[in-house]
Structure 1
Amino acid sequence: MAVYVMYLAIAMALTLVATPLVKKLAVRWGAVDKPDHRKVHTRIMPRLGGLAIYISFAICFFLFVPKTKEALSIFIGGTIIVITGAIDDRYQISPKAKLLGQIIAATIVMVGGLRVELFNLPFDGQINFSWLLSIPITMLWVVGVTNAVNLIDGLDGLAAGVSGIALLAMSVMAFMMANTLAILFGVILLGAVIGFLFFNFHPAKIFMGDTGSLFLGFNLAALSVLGFKQVALMAFIVPILILGVPLSDTFYAIVRRWLHKEPIFQPDKNHLHHCLLSMGYSHRKTVIVIYSISAVFALSAVLLSQSKQWAAVIFIGVLLILLEMGSEAVGLMGKKTGPLLRFVRLFRVREERLENTRSGK
């Protein structure tokens, strides 16, 4: 345990040193973020901060991580993602070009042997995938998680903090399963993220940009495949819960745009952080609230992995209902009330009418 804490501290220190240097590079190179109608900040900010996270990660990778085929594939794929994100932070490339970089990175990870090959189901069930199914499922997972983290990067410290909480949970799970490679990746990335948060938490001095959000999303996706292949309980429920905030926000964005007949990839201001800001929460409080939600998801994942299967199924059902009600309450589905809350209100009105009838009113 002590050696992992040391690795985390080294990664954090490296990011603390690298971030001011990257900030100067971003300004000189012109990788800056200008305010617009969708963004919360009101002044030009240097981005490219994710490069500092990558530099810290790369140094620690070469110093401490065994150079297995799986480890090298994650590192090379992550490097391609960083290059893609850095080019976008400077030149604003098209979504198709960014997607191409993600597909190449995901392909490298799969060539390295990281693929979703089975689903472990409740009550000792299992679904095994042939390579024809394994490849598209893995591709969808890696690209989906990568973009999910990118989508929540809308407030100071939000994507970094949520990713840090997810990395902590994954590291704990990997430690419980004695998965050394997953632990190393988890603690090194966690240390790098913590170091970056000193500069990125509100009020931010630098943004991580697509360089950082895509890199963290990619590594979270790859780490989940690396670390949870053999989880006894529904292999992908655990990482889905750990990544509950970015994945659910992305899911509701897709549903919301489909319901309103808007293009799926069209940006809007109805993500979770936008909704909380519109409810009157301050910038800092909004981030802390989302941190808290992410921590609940992460803790639930850890507890779920240790639960009996029948209890886990009930727990997941209750959690999904609470998630839906919460999303409807804050307006993730749009301004109109969602179906669950509408049902609750109708039930409440019906109960009030029955009570009034009984009392003779």
Structure 2
Amino acid sequence: MDFAFKFVVRLFITMIISLILTPIFKLVSFKIGAVDRPGERRINTKTMPTAGGLSIFFAFSFALLWEFREMLPFDYVWPILLGAAIVVFTGLMDDIFELSPLQKILGLTIAALEIYFVAGIKISTVSIPYIGVFDLDWMGLPMTILWILAITNAVNLIDGLDGLASGVSIISLTTIGIISYFFLPNSVEVPMVIFTLIAAIIGFFPYNFYPATIFLGDTGALFLGFMISVLSLQGLKNATFITVVTPMLILGVPITDTVYAMIRRKFNKQKISSADKMHLHHRLLSLGFTHRGTVLTIYALALVFSFIALLMNYASNTAIILLIISTGFGIELFIELIGLVGENRQPLMHGLKFLGNRRYRQQVLNTHSDKRIERKSEKDPADDAAQMKEARMKRKHYQPKHKK
């Protein structure tokens, strides 16, 4: 009880430190030029400071190095903070000078290599139901780097509205902390670090929620994404039968937005790194949601994903697989309804309509028949007129005789 009380008090102190530091770094942002000016792709209508992530990073670092110095081993803390510092520096440079995507990836890769070789945090095994556990061996390095880069950039991509990335990060980290505490009872350090980071974000959150007075910027969004990726490797690697599925579900909102953005740009023949205004929050805004309503809706989606991730840890292998299939079906249906890939790209909706609407089904079959005849007529033009006439007669036969 004494330990729990001290821990909660120190979390409260961390939150207060972040709360105090945020206005200071707001002034610092203007001084160093870390600002976001209004533009075509921007939601803000005035120049906003973007180095808000510095207050979270410094409050978090102070807590680990000083407040929890007796609870957390220094050898465990400093490698994580070193990797985080590399990411924060990369993000700050981007907020000031607008780095190229390659330069940002380089900075994140250096941080990922530091985590792998210095901190010793890595993906070493993958567990698949009914098959067994596979040792990745040398594949552990590229898999770890890919995981850190993917999650870091996914969180960065959803940072498009006031309080969006910070709120989703709080929900995701809380879920990871709960799972790591109950399913990794011998590893107290991981949930302690997670809840310390949550306290630092909560101190920043009042300034970032709509209407925001300071943004996370790449400084904060990259830092939060990096820490989530690293802590999920530690906190969830032995928590479920499928090693990767639980953190992917917890981070379902940013991962879904990123994956469908890549699919959308592929269909539109655009570069994967190109920017657009078709992300999840953009689509909800275009459908008539208010700024605050869009953010709260995405919070609700993040909570649903987190709840599913928690359920997975109590389910059997068969239930986990069925849960994943059901979740995938629901995600695809939601994505098509809001038009995240494109309003004309709705394969699941068209499939359901084909099964449930006889008139639509006959129309599709007729169109397919006409196209097949046209393709065949290119090879044998003599039969074109006869086949088209026969197709029209069949279609006429299926039309209702009496129309209202």
TM-score (ref. length: structure 2): 0.85
Q: Is the 2:336–2:345 contact (alpha carbons within 8 Å) kept by the matching residues of 1?
A: yes
Structure 2: distance between partners of 1:352 and 1:89: 51
- The residue aligned with 2:350 is 342
Deviation of the 1:232 alpha carbon = 3.4
Query: What is the match of residue 145 of structure 2?
Result: 139
The separation in 2 between residues aligned to 1:167 and 1:27, in whole angstroms, is 30
Q: Does the 8 Å CA contact 1:34/1:44 hold for their aligned counterparts?
A: yes
Query: SS of the counterpart of 2:133?
Result: strand
| Distance in 2 separating the partners of 1:298 and 1:202 | 23
Deviations 1:210-246 (A, max 9, x none): 0000000000000011111212320111100111100
Inter-partner Cα distance in structure 2 for 1:70 and 1:343: 52
Are the equivalent residues in 1 in contact too, given 2:240–2:312 (CA < 8 A)? Answer: no
Q: Deviations over 1:123-154 (max 9, x none)?
A: 36212101x21100000000111111010000
Please tell me the residue identity of whatever aligns with 1:137.
M
Q: Distance in 1 between matches of 2:314 and 2:9?
A: 28
* CA offsets 1:98-129 (integer angstroms, 9 cap, x no match): 11110010001001211111111113621210
SS of match in other structure, 1:165: helix
1:276 and 1:353 map into 2 onto residues whose CA distance is: 30
Q: What CA distance in whole angstroms lies between the structure 2 residues aligned with 1:34 and 1:104?
A: 29
Map 1:145-224 onto structure 2 (within 5 A).
145-177=151-183, 178=185, 179-224=187-232
1:61 pairs with 2:69? no
Cα distance change on mapping 1:352 and 1:335 into 2, 3 Å = closer
Q: Which runs of 4+ in 1 moved over 4 A?
A: 351-354
Partner of 2:19: 16
Letter in 2 for 1:59: F
Secondary structure of 1:120's match?
A: strand
Q: Does residue 73 in structure 1 map to residue 79 in structure 2?
A: yes
Please name the residue that 2:120 is paired with. Answer: 113
One-letter amino acid of the counterpart of residue 302, structure 2: S
Q: How has the CA–CA distance of structure 1 residues 124 and 182 changed in structure 2, closer, same or farther, with 3 Å as cutoff?
A: farther
CA distance in 1, matches of 2:361, 2:146: 49
Which amino acid in the other structure matches residue 343 of structure 1?
G
Pair 21,353 (structure 1): closer, same or farther in 2 beyond 3 Å: closer
Contact 1:4 1:187 in 2 (8 A): no
Using the aligned pairs only, state the percent identity: 38
| Deviation at residue 253 of structure 1 after TM alignment | 0.5
Aligned equivalents of 1:97, 1:51: Cα separation in 2 = 20
Query: Which of the residues 79, 102, 122 maps onto 1:96?
Result: 102
Q: Tell me the alpha carbon deviations over residues 51-89 of structure 1, each in whole angstroms, 9 at most, x when there is no partner.
A: 000011010110215235443322110011011111111
CA offsets, 1:178-214, max 9 Å, x none?
2312111110111111111100000000001000000
Question: How far off its partner does 1:8 sit?
Answer: 2.7
Q: 1:261 aligns to what? A: 269
Contact 1:258 1:264 (8 Å CA) reproduced:
yes
| Map of 1:240 onto structure 2 | 248
* Kept after mapping to 1: 8 A contact 2:36/2:48: yes
Partners of 1:353 and 1:134 in 2: CA distance: 48
How far apart, CA to CA, are the structure 2 residues paired with 1:303 and 1:351? 41
Bigger CA drift: 81-90 or 339-348?
339-348
How far does the alpha carbon of each residue in 1:261-313 deviate from its partner, in whole angstroms, 9 at most, with x for none?
A: 11110010000000000000000000000000001101111111121111111
Aligned equivalents of 1:145 and 1:264: distance in 2?
A: 16
Check the 8 A contact 1:119/1:235 in 2, yes or no.
yes
Amino acid at match of 1:318: S
Listed one character per residue, the Cα deviations across residues 2-50 of structure 1 (whole Å, up to 9, x for unaligned) are 4443333222111101000000111122211001111111111111000
**Counterpart selection for 1:39 from 39, 42, 46:** 42
- Which structure has more relative contact order (CA 8 Å, sep 6+)? It is 1
Look up the match of 2:238: 230
Q: Give the Cα–Cα distance (whole angstroms) in 2 for the partners of residues 99 and 75 of structure 1.
A: 19
Measured after TM superposition, the shift of residue 351 of structure 1 is 7.7
Residues 329/4 of structure 1: CA separation in 2 closer, same or farther (3 Å cut) = farther
Query: Larger Rg: 1 or 2?
Result: 2
Structure 1 residues 304 and 351, CA, compared in 2 at 3 Å: closer, same or farther? Answer: farther
| Aligned-CA RMSD value | 2.0
Q: Which structure 2 segments of 5+ residues have no match?
A: 363-397
CA contact (8 A) 1:157 1:197 kept: yes
Q: What is the SS of the residue equivalent to 2:219?
A: helix
Q: 1:68 to 1:55 in 2, by over 3 A?
A: closer
For the residue of structure 1 that corresponds to 2:180, the secondary structure is helix
Select 2:88's aligned residue among 61, 76, 82.
Answer: 82
